């Protein structure tokens, strides 16, 4: 009797497992909506360009963004302390000059063409030098 009861219970558990599984085609999760990347979902739509300064050095830096057309100041952030960043600074698109200044009289200047939906992250290294960077599309 115990053998029959054990086999019957095993059969019931197996049957319950088989019937509780849903039969769904594997391709149902492969529709284009589910395959979109985060970038595609958050596509940029005529957003102003952005610049950010990350300071991994040991001294404070100031960041100033100038227009190469007329030399006007487009945006700035004074006092990016070691271990912090300026946050994203926005401005009108075009060719820009980014000036990074500090109290040690060293200064870094870079020129970039910044179009709509581009961002540039500049980074100060531990030895207080500017690492190479290029604008990226959003």
Residues 114 and 65 in one domain: yes
- Per-residue model confidence (pLDDT) at position 120: 98
If one counts the domains in the chain, the total is: 2
**Segment 59-95, tens digit of pLDDT:** 999 999 999 999 999 999 999 999 999 999 999 999 9
- Per-residue model confidence (pLDDT) at position 6: 72
φ and ψ of 101, to 5 deg: -125, 150
- Per-residue model confidence (pLDDT) at position 137: 95
Residues 52 and 120 in one domain: yes
Q: Which domain holds residue 102?
A: 47-137
Residues 64 and 33 in one domain: no
Residues 25 and 62 in one domain: no
Strand pairing of 94-101 and 136-137?
unpaired
Span 93-100, mean pLDDT? Answer: 98
pLDDT range class, residue 39, cuts 50, 70, 90: very low
Residues 34 and 53 in one domain: no
Q: What is the 3-state secondary structure (H, E, C) of 113-130?
A: EECCCEEEEEEECCCCCE
Lowest mean pLDDT among 5-14, 41-50, 66-75, 116-125: 5-14
Whole-angstrom Cα Rg for the chain: 29
Determine the 3-state secondary structure of 62 from DSSP: strand
Strand pairing of 107-114 and 89-90?
unpaired
Residues 73 and 108 in one domain: yes
Rounded distance, CA 89 to CA 76, Å? 7
Place of tokens 């990226």: 136
Span 88-117, mean pLDDT? Answer: 94
Residues 18 and 67 in one domain: no
- Per-residue model confidence (pLDDT) at position 77: 98
pLDDT range class, residue 19, cuts 50, 70, 90: low
- Element (DSSP H or E) covering residue 63: strand 61-67
- Element (DSSP H or E) covering residue 2: helix 2-20
Residues 34 and 101 in one domain: no
């Amino acid at each position: 009797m115990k053998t029959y009861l054990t086999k019957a219970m095993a059969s019931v558990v197996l049957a319950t497992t088989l019937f509780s599984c849903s039969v769904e085609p594997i391709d149902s999760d492969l529709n284009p909506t589910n395959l979109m990347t985060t970038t595609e979902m958050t596509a940029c739509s005529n957003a102003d360009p952005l610049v950010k300064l990350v300071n991994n050095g040991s001294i404070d830096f100031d960041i100033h963004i100038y227009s190469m057309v007329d030399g006007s100041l487009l945006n700035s952030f004074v006092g990016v302390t070691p271990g912090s960043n300026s946050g994203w600074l926005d401005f009108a698109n075009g060719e820009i000059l980014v000036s990074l200044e500090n109290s040690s009289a060293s200064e870094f200047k870079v020129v970039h063409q910044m179009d709509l939906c581009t961002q540039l992250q500049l980074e100060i290294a531990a030895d207080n030098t500017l690492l190479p960077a290029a604008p990226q599309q959003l």
